[in-house]
Chains A and B, each alone.
Chain A
Amino acid sequence: MKNEKSPAELLQEREKRVMDAVALKIPDRVPIIPAFAFFPAKYTGVTCEDAFFNPPKWKEACKKVLIDYEPDLWQFASVLPGPVMQILGCKQVLLPGHGTSPYHTHQFVEGEYMTAGEWEAFKRDPGDLAIRTYVPRVFEKLQILQELPPLDDLVTGGGVAGVLDYFTRPEFIEAFDVIIQAGEAMAKWRVEMGTFGKDFAELGFAAYSGAATQAPFDLITDFMRGMRGSMLDLYRHPDELLEACEIFTPLLIERTIAMAKVSGNPRVFIPLHRGAEGFMSLKQFEKFYWPTLKKVLLALIDAGLTPAPFFEGGYTTRLEYLLDLPKGKIIGHFDTTDIFKAKQIIGNHICIRGDMPPSLLQTGTPEQIKDYTKKLIDVVGKDGGYIMSTRGSLDEAEPELVRIWVDFTKEYGIYR
């Protein structure tokens, strides 16, 4: 079959298959979008470090995976621009070969990058806190910015005269050079990453997403207050937390829509972190997490986009909230949520993606894999609205088992 169709035709066919599922229609077969993540490293013998520091090499590895497995859309690791992180001395992440093993995924470095005591300053003058306190804390090479005087002085009488001295100091000139160098590395990175989409499209594969965003709450817990900090904030600084979520919401929406328009891809990847069952109570989810996330999702839908949240962790108790969203407009990618229960509750409302356990693809038997695949297709795939996928990342999966899973999905998943 595939020899008869051009890559462009195949791409359209695959897109249609996925978007039919998103629209809760019945496609020709169950689409499959494995979260390959760092799988190309193991599969082709390159390193995870290459994903961050050698885009052309990483692209070739990804290409091989695409050609060999033919997913309906491609989704690899969301990598960060390694050279940019190095130039800025970013302390929030350890990259493969630079803090973690070159053969394994990167690691986020949890921390209270903004302290609880700084909520007050955040409310009073967030720009000043960002430039003089937060940025120097996160980016080692921009530490010198902490020596700047209070920046509200620019509009409280001091004017620009008060800061001019800093622009002649060698350490500051160096810091500005660092920013420019980072910018140049960023530009190079962006161009290189742009070729991924173009090259893969020529092979007949569109990207799962062209833009990414987060839940407003997650920005705070990930980048500002840390897990511990934000959990304490739920009790000690609830108002500040809610206010910050509200501040971030329109900014996230605006940035994400712009990113998506530039990419031309309607799907927006939204990894959800701290809204899951282990992290907060249902009441907290309802108060702190869901309202602003919902606003983001609705705004993206209104802009004609297809939000694709990844519900990492368990959301079984939170499924009903998704009924607040318009029907057939999002992809819910589930991890440890009870996917069969999800089918019952939201099956007629949103497209479900999941949840083959990567462990089965790493240590399971072909029979176990086929059994679970069959069950997913029979139950969750019933009447469409379903996309076959793994729970989390396939980094360490056994290539042969992945093949069995993918092939069997394509064979058994045909809707007749």
Chain B
Amino acid sequence: MSGEKSAKELLQEREKRVNDAIQLKVPDRVPIIPSFAYFPAKYASVTCEDAFFNLPKWHEACKKVAIDFEPDLYHFAMTQPGPVQIALGNKQLALPGHGVSPMHSHQFVEGEYMKADEWDAYLHNPTDYAIRTYLPRVYDKLKAFSSLPPLVRLFWGYGEVTTTELFTRPEFKEALNALELAGKEMEKWREEKSRFDQEMESLGFRAVSKGSTSPPFDLISDMFRGMRGSMLDMYRNPDKLLEACEWLTPRMIERGIKSAKASGNPRVFIALHRGAEGFMSLKQFETFYWPSLKKVIIALVDAGLTPAPFFEGDYTSRLEYLLELPRGKVVGHFDTTDIFRAKQVLGNHMCIRGNFPVSLLQTGTPDEIKEYTRKLIDVVGKDGGYIMATRGSLDEANPALVKVWVDFTKEYGVYR
């Protein structure tokens, strides 16, 4: 089939298929968007380290996956420019080959990067907090900035020029050099990213999303207070937490809009972390997590974009909240949520993506795979509004089984 159509036609066909599902229409067949993530490493015998440190090589591997599996949109690992992280000495990330095995995924390094008694500085003196406290704590090469005087002293005009002397210290020069080096690496990274997008487009493939943003609560929990810190905050600093979520909401909206508009891809990836069932109670979800996330999602929809939240973990008890979002404008990618219940609750309201177990694609049999694929298509795919996908990342999946799954979805998933 693909031999007859031009790449451009295929691209349009795939986009339409996905968009029909998002708009809760019945497409020609169930679209499939596997979360390939680091799968290209195993499949094309490159390393996960390459995804961070040898982008052209990594892109070749990704291209091979796209050509061989022909997903409706491609979804690979969201990687960071490795040389930038190394140049700055980022302590929040352990990268493949630099802290974790070159053959496995990167790891986030949990920590209380912001202390409980720093809430006021964060909220009411954010630039000073960023430059003198947070960046030096997270980036080893920027630790010199912690010796800067409070930035509000810059308002003392020429009375404060003595501060320039700090910049003659070796550690300050090193920090500025690190930033310059990181900037150059970032530029290279972006160029290669955009070259890859164009090449993929010419082959008929488009990314599931280019833009992204975060739930305000997760930004705080991930990057600042850590899991433990933010959990304690729900009891000890609830007002600060809420103030932060409110303060961050317009910024998260702007991030999503800006990053998506810059790319031309309307879908905005939103990875949800701490709103799941194991992390907070329903009441806490309602108080701390959902209100600001909801505002972000609605604002993105209002901006003509398609929010694509990934509900990592279990959201079975939280599905009803999603009915508060505009109909047919959001793709909900589900992980361990009961997807059949999701269909009952949300089926007429929001496009569902998911939730093929990754374990089955690693250790299952072809029959097991076909059976579950069929069930998903029959039940969740009924009357459209469904996108076939895995729960989480396919990093370690067996390529032959992935092939069975993808091919069977394309065959059995045709709407007649």
| A-B contacts at CB below 8 angstroms, number | 162
Question: In the complex, what residue of chain B is closest to A156 when comparing beta carbons?
Answer: B251
> Given the complex of chains A and B, what is the CA–CA distance between A163 and B122 in angstroms?
19
- Closest Cβ of chain B to A282, distance in Å, is 27
Measured CB to CB, the closest approach of chain B to A184, in angstroms, equals 5
Cα(A113)–Cα(B186), bound, Å: 35
In residues 126-147 of chain A, which contact B (Cβ within 8 Å)? Answer: 126-128, 130-131, 134-135, 138
Question: Looking at the complex, which of B128-136, B197-205, B377-385, B393-401 is the stretch in contact with chain A?
Answer: B128-136
Q: Does A99 contact B (CB under 8 A)?
A: no
Closest to B88 in A: A160
**Complex alpha-carbon distance, A223 and B223, angstroms:** 36
A1 located at the interface, meaning its Cβ lies under 8 Å from any Cβ of chain B in the complex: no
The one of A85, A161, A219 that contacts B84, using a Cβ cutoff of 8 Å: A161
Stretch touching chain B among A20-28, A166-174, A293-301, A404-412: A166-174
CB nearest neighbor in B for A163: B179
**B122, B135, B151, B255: which contacts A130 (Cβ < 8 A)?**
B151
The answer to whether B187 and A128 touch across the interface, beta carbons within 8 angstroms, is no
Write the nearest CB–CB distance from B112 to chain A, whole angstroms.
15
Is the Cβ of A167 less than 8 Å from the Cβ of B155? no
Would you call B127 and A125 a contact (CB within 8 A)?
Answer: yes
For chain A, what secondary structure do more than half of its interface residues adopt (helix, strand, loop), or is it mixed? helix
For residue A285, CB closer than 8 A to chain B, the reply is no
* Cross-chain contact A152 with B167 (CB below 8 angstroms): no
Contact A157–B168 (Cβ < 8 Å): no
Q: Which residue of B lies closest to A182 (CB)?
A: B164
B interface residue count range (under 10 / 10 to 19 / 20 to 34 / 35 or more): 35 or more
Is A151 within 8 A of B150, CB to CB?
no
Q: How far is it, in angstroms, between the C-alpha of A153 and the C-alpha of B158 when the chains are bound? A: 27
CB < 8 Å neighbour of B158 from A85, A173, A183: A85
Complex Cα distance, B184 from A267, in Å, reads: 50
Known contacts A157-B219, A186-B165, A247-B152; decide if A126 and B186 are in contact (CB<8 Å). no
B-chain residues with CB within 8 Å of residue A251 when the two chains form the complex: 149-150, 152-153
* Count of chain A residues near B, Cβ 8 A: 58
Residues of B within 8 A of A187 (CB): 165, 168
Other-chain contact of A155, B84, B122, B157, B214 (Cβ < 8 Å): B122
Q: Which chain B residues lie closer than 8 Å to A131 at the CB level?
A: 127, 151, 154
- Chain B residues with Cβ below 8 Å from A128 are 126-127
Q: How far is the CA of A138 from the CA of B159 in the complex (A)?
A: 12
A183 to B169, CA, bound (A): 9
B137-164 toward A: CB 8 Å interface, digit per residue (1/0)?
0010010000001111111111101101
Q: Of residues 108 to 133 in B, which have CB atoms within 8 Å of A's CB atoms?
A: 122, 124-131
Cβ of A12 within 8 Å of any chain B Cβ, yes or no, is no
**Complex Cα distance A160/B155, Å?**
24
Query: In the complex, what distance in Å separates the CA atom of A265 from the CA atom of B125?
Result: 34
Task: Give the distance in Å from the alpha carbon of A322 to the alpha carbon of B134 in the complex.
Answer: 43
Q: Let me know if B213 is at the binding interface, CB within 8 A.
A: yes
Complex alpha-carbon distance, A53 and B416, angstroms? 88
Task: Please report the C-alpha to C-alpha distance between residue A173 and residue B176 in the assembled complex, in whole angstroms.
Answer: 9
Which residues of the partner chain A approach B251 to less than 8 Å between Cβ atoms?
Answer: 152-153, 156-157
Q: Which residues of B contact A153 (CB under 8 A)?
A: 251
Residue of A123, A125, A157, A184 contacting most chain B CB atoms (<10 Å): A157
Contact between B130 and A151 (Cβ–Cβ < 8 Å)? yes
B183 interface residue, CB < 8 Å from A? yes
Say yes or no: is A165 at the interface (Cβ < 8 Å to chain B): yes
Judge whether B131 and A151 touch: CB under 8 Å: yes
Min C-beta distance of B233 to chain A, whole Å: 16
- Considering the chains assembled together, what is the distance between the CA atoms of A30 and B128 in angstroms? 49
Are B131 and A154 within 8 A (Cβ)? yes
B residues near A173, Cβ cutoff 8 Å: 180
How many angstroms between the C-alpha atoms of A302 and B183 in the bound complex? 48
Interface mask (B172-194 → A, CB under 8 Å = 1, otherwise 0): 01001001101110110000000
Which residues of the other chain, B, contact A88 by a CB distance below 8 angstroms? 161, 164
Q: Which of A152, A167, A248 contacts B127 (CB 8 A)?
A: A152
In B358-396, which residues have CB < 8 Å from any A CB?
none
Residue of A nearest to B130 (CB): A154
A223 and B127 form a contact (CB under 8 A): no
Instruction: Check A84 against B161 for contact (C-beta < 8 Å).
Output: yes
Of residues 220 to 251 in A, which have CB atoms within 8 Å of B's CB atoms?
220, 222-224, 247-248, 251
Of A84, A126, A165, A182, the contact of B187 (CB 8 Å cutoff): A165
Q: Which residues of A contact B182 (CB under 8 A)?
A: 160, 164, 167
Give the residues in chain A near B223, CB-CB below 8 Å. 159
Tell me whether A255 is interfacial, beta carbon within 8 Å: yes
Q: Are A184 and B180 in contact (CB under 8 A)?
A: no
New A-B pairs, 13, CB < 8 Å, besides A156-B126, A179-B164: A81-B161, A134-B154, A152-B251, A155-B130, A157-B214, A157-B248, A159-B223, A164-B186, A168-B183, A176-B176, A182-B161, A183-B165, A248-B152
Residues of B bordering A, CB below 8 Å? 84, 88, 122, 124-131, 134-135, 139, 142, 149-159, 161-162, 164-168, 173, 176, 179-180, 182-184, 186-187, 213-214, 219, 223-224, 247-248, 251-252, 255
Interchain residue pairs with CB less than 8 A apart (11): A80-B161, A90-B158, A113-B157, A114-B155, A156-B126, A157-B219, A173-B180, A179-B164, A180-B167, A184-B168, A223-B156
Query: Which 3 A-B pairs rank lowest in CB-CB distance, beginning with the nearest?
Result: A127-B127, A223-B157, A127-B151
